[in-house]
Amino acid sequence: MEVELAKNKFKETLFSFKQILPILFGVVMLVSFAVILIPKSFYKFVFIGNNFFDPLFGALFGSVLTGNPITSYIIANELLLSGVSLIAVIAFILAWVTVGVIQFPAESLMLGKRFVLVRNIVSFVSAIIIACLTVLTLSLI
Amino acid sequence: MINKLLEKIEEKWLFLIIVFLMYFVLWLVDSVKFLEVLYYFLNLLKEIIPVLFLVFFLMFISSMIFSSKRVEKLFGKDAGIISWLAAIIGGILSAGPIYVWYPMLSDFKEKGMRNCFITIFLYNRAIKIPLLPIMILYFDVQLIIILTIYMIIFSVINGIIVEKILKLNN
């Protein structure tokens, strides 16, 4: 009886998974596309040295871009070395890992468009807030 | 959610076709870049295949253990502190890219998991314990600790906000 149940559950899971594979395949292709076609040097030109706009731009570009988080650390380090503010850099890293514009089609197909839209907007705003709070806390310690 | 997904089968294929078309256009415009993208794609695919197996296994196990009733009880309306902690810790411990976890979350959502817990899980995925040593190479340890604490706190705040906004819209 239990073996039969396990068999059925396995078949159900396999079926669900097969349905999702084209979306996953597509998103991996899209991520690869974005990672290679957006040159790393591009990021430095995004920031203008303004304390208000830089965190916003940081979060904005972190949201649009994608890839391994290690890449975001390397870019963030380069940005810091080239004089970009810490708030902007933290907002950039946070948005990179929490907001997913590239993954949006896949995520909305599986979790619902409205949920994904709201989740991404909230994550975007919180990336800027957390960046400000982190730098403020660091300055107080 | 999975059932809804099945209804959207055309949308799913359309998405893949658009991406294939983008690759095709790139091949026409710049074949060297196309090969670079293809090489990156194959490497990425190689990286995520083990995680996909893990997700498949977890989906299978969870379908055996978590009935709709149990998911509803654990991550539904009457969720307790354990549920919040489970979403936070689950998010932190989950490996691989974010998108490989969508199928499992979609399945849990269909069984009654609240949007706030999905949000918390996805937000905490940004905390990568295996990558901490690499992060320390580039940033101050103090900064990493403060950032991680804020991320955990905000994952919960975000979860509550997302759920409230979605309820308002309903």
The pTM is what? 0.78
Question: What residues make up the domain containing B61?
Answer: 2-169
Which residue in chain A is spatially nearest to B138 when comparing CA positions? A77
Q: What is the pLDDT of residues B12-55, one digit of tens each?
A: 687 888 889 999 999 999 999 999 999 999 998 888 788 778 87
CA distance A45 to chain B (A): 21
Task: Band the pLDDT of B79: cuts 50, 70, 90.
Answer: confident
> What is the pLDDT at residue B1?
58
Q: Where are the beta strands (DSSP E) in A36-131?
A: none
Per-residue DSSP letters for chain B? -HHHHHHTHHHHHHHHHHHHHHHHHHHHH-HHHHHHHHHHHHHHHHHHHHHHHHHHHHHHHHHHH--HHHHHHHHSTT--HHHHHHHHHHHHH--S-GGGGHHHHHHHHHTT--HHHHHHHHHHTT--GGGHHHHHHHS-HHHHHHHHHHHHHHHHHHHHHHHHHHHHH-
- What is the band of A127 on the pLDDT scale with cuts at 50, 70, 90? very high
pLDDT at B5: 56
Q: Which is higher by pLDDT, A24 or B37?
A: B37
Of B11, B45, B162, the CB nearest to A28: B45
Decide if pLDDT at A118 tops 90: yes
Q: What is the pLDDT of residue B70?
A: 74
> CA angle B107-B109-B113, nearest 5°?
125
Average pLDDT over residues B148-170: 92
ipTM of the complex: 0.80
Contact between A119 and B158 using a beta-carbon 8 Å cutoff: yes
Q: Which of residues 58-97 of A touch B (CB under 8 A)?
A: 69-70, 73-74, 76-77, 86, 90, 94, 97
C-beta pairs of A24-28 under 8 Å, 24+ apart in sequence: A24/A106, A24/B52, A24/B99, A24/B100, A24/B102, A24/B103, A25/B16, A26/A105, A26/A106, A26/B15, A26/B16, A26/B19, A27/A102, A27/A103, A27/A105, A27/A106, A27/B99, A28/B41, A28/B44, A28/B45, A28/B48, A28/B99
Residue A71 has a pLDDT of: 73
Q: What pLDDT, on the 0 to 100 scale, is given for residue A2?
A: 73
Q: How confident is the model at residue A51 (pLDDT cuts 50, 70, 90)?
A: confident
Residues of A in Cβ contact (< 8 Å) with B98 = 100, 103
Q: Please give the pLDDT value at position B4.
A: 62
Residue B102 has its nearest CB partner, among A73, A110, A129, at A110
Between residues A74 and B157, the one the model is more confident about:
B157
Residue B6 has pLDDT above 60, yes or no: no
Predicted confidence (pLDDT) at residue A17 exceeds the cutoff of 60:
yes
Average pLDDT over residues A11-38: 80
B83 contacts chain A (CB < 8 A): no
List of chain B residues whose C-beta atoms are within 8 Å of the C-beta of residue A112: 1, 4, 109
CA–CA min distance B157, chain A (Å): 9
Give per-residue pLDDT as tens, B106-143.
Answer: 888 888 889 999 999 999 988 888 778 778 878 889 99
> Taking 80 as the threshold, does the pLDDT of residue A93 lie above it?
yes
A80-89: pLDDT as tens digits: 887 888 999 9
Task: Check B15 against A105: CB less than 8 A apart.
Answer: yes
Flag whether pLDDT at B147 surpasses 70: yes
pLDDT at A68 over 80: no
Domain assignment of residue A61, given as a range: 2-140
Taking an 8 Å cut-off on Cβ atoms, the answer to whether B44 and A32 are in contact is yes
pLDDT over 70 percentage in chain B = 90
Tokens standing for B100? 């490989």
Residues B19/A26, Cβ–Cβ less than 8 Å: yes
Does B9 score more than 60 pLDDT?
Answer: no
Across B149-160, average pLDDT: 95
Task: Tell me which residue of A135, A61, A130 sits closest to A101, measured CA to CA.
Answer: A61
Q: Into how many domains does chain B fold?
A: 1
**Residue A44 pLDDT:** 66
pLDDT at A27: 78
